[in-house]
Amino acid sequence: MTNTENTRKTILSGIQPTNTPHLGNYLGATKNWVDMQASYDCVCFVADLHAITVRQDPAKLRAQTRQTYALLMAMGMDADKSILFVQSHNHHHAELNWVLSCFTQFGELSRMTQFKDKSSKGEDSMNAGLFTYPTLQAADILLYQADLVPVGADQKQHLELSRNIAVRFNNAYSPTLVVPEPHIPKAVGKIMSLSEPTKKMSKSDDNPNASVSVLDERDVIIRKFKRAVTDSEAQICYREEDEAKAGINNLLSIYAAVTGKAVAEAEAEFAGRGYGEFKEAVGAAVADVFEPVQREYARLIEDKAHLDACMKSGAQRAMRISGKTLAKVYRKVGLLSIDN
Ligand code: TYM
């Protein structure tokens, strides 16, 4: 390793393999992982252990795990340069989770809004894993001594908890765990639903028109954007905090992010033009970005042996780093080691 590599900071992030990633996952998270590879050591994974907090069809989960992994590569994650793996292939995550659960307060977990949202939807599906989900997320992050965690805005509270757990552990013993910073993109940290623009775009939305999947075909993408809910003002302008403008704000943010333009530039480009034309242009711009990803994905998913070899090597490289942190943590808390 050269000196420059030694001084590089580490970023870490994960995505659940529940359904195909959507435009929100892409703009809020995965696109940034890809872009940040050039200047950071990057550890990224498919969070399959998190996915089983909700009952999954086993065969489907296995297929989606490989699919999500292939999609990350198709988006530009470099499995040689970065560490790209599947969470359950590294048992250190589950092990550190246990130790950190002894450093997480019941009250802290009860206050997590994602838990409160999910639990309010039905008592039957409630399980302890759903409750302790954020502690596993803290283990994911702290195992790699990550400096920055690129995520969407919905993960902010989980990141706060990870920081609190790290600080609590360090205070109880001595500095052991790096306290991570969230990295949330300002404009696209929360991409909204196309059909209800005051709600975030979500994989679990029952309405297929609410979100755009990375694997949607071009005409499907354009059709969904054409149907996007806006307002009756007929003005393509960005007005932050104005709920009536939520639809247009969302579309302008998406257009700016996928074309690399500033929002003001996008406003100028569409000044005086109709919503129909604008929505179609946003759809076309999104389809242009997803087209090469889809082509590369189609190629990668055919080569199962290559994907599995990448997953295996990714997990081995991940374990070399996480093993060191886990050993330190075990020693600090007083677990007896029989390795020399
Ligand atoms: P997940 O799978 O729900 O989402 C993956 C990433 O996509 C972001 N995201 C969004 N960003 C912008 N707009 C949206 N509408 C939108 N919806 C989702 C999420 O914020 C996330 O960054 N718990 C995590 C996975 C995880 C993780 C980790 C993340 C497990 N361990 C450690 C970071 C670090 C999750 O369920 O993400």
Q: How far is the CA of 334 from the centre of ligand 1 (A)?
A: 34
What is the distance of C-alpha 128 from the center of its chain?
Answer: 22
Q: Is 226 a catalytic residue?
A: no
141 lines ligand 1 (CB under 6 A): yes
19 lines ligand 1 (CB under 6 A): no
Tens-digit pLDDT profile for the chain (340 aa)? 344 456 899 999 999 999 999 999 999 999 999 999 999 999 999 999 999 999 999 999 999 999 999 999 999 999 999 999 999 999 999 999 999 999 999 999 999 988 888 777 765 678 999 999 999 999 999 999 999 999 999 999 999 999 999 999 999 999 999 999 999 999 999 999 999 999 999 988 899 999 999 999 999 999 999 999 999 998 999 999 899 999 999 999 999 999 999 999 999 999 999 999 999 999 999 999 999 999 999 999 999 999 999 999 999 999 999 999 999 999 999 999 998 6
**Position 224, amino acid:** K
Q: Is 9 a catalytic residue?
A: no
Q: What are the helix (H) ranges across 262-303?
A: 263-270, 275-302
Q: Is 200 a catalytic residue?
A: yes
Work out which ligand 1 atom sits closest to the CA atom of 151: 22
Q: What is the pTM of this model?
A: 0.96
16 strand-pairing partners: none
Which residue has its alpha carbon closest to ligand 1 atom 5?
A: 15
Is the Cα dihedral 84, 85, 91, 93 positive or negative? Answer: positive
13 lines ligand 1 (CB under 6 A): yes
50 lines ligand 1 (CB under 6 A): yes
Q: Which of 9, 156, 203, 261 is catalytic?
A: 203
28 lines ligand 1 (CB under 6 A): yes
Collapsing DSSP to helix, strand or coil, 39 comes out as: coil
Which residue has its alpha carbon closest to ligand 1 atom 4?
A: 15
Which residue has its alpha carbon closest to ligand 1 atom 24?
A: 15
Q: How far is the CA of 269 from the centre of ligand 1 (A)?
A: 32
Packing angle of the helix pair 246-259, 263-270 (nearest 10 deg): 110
**Position 17, amino acid:** P
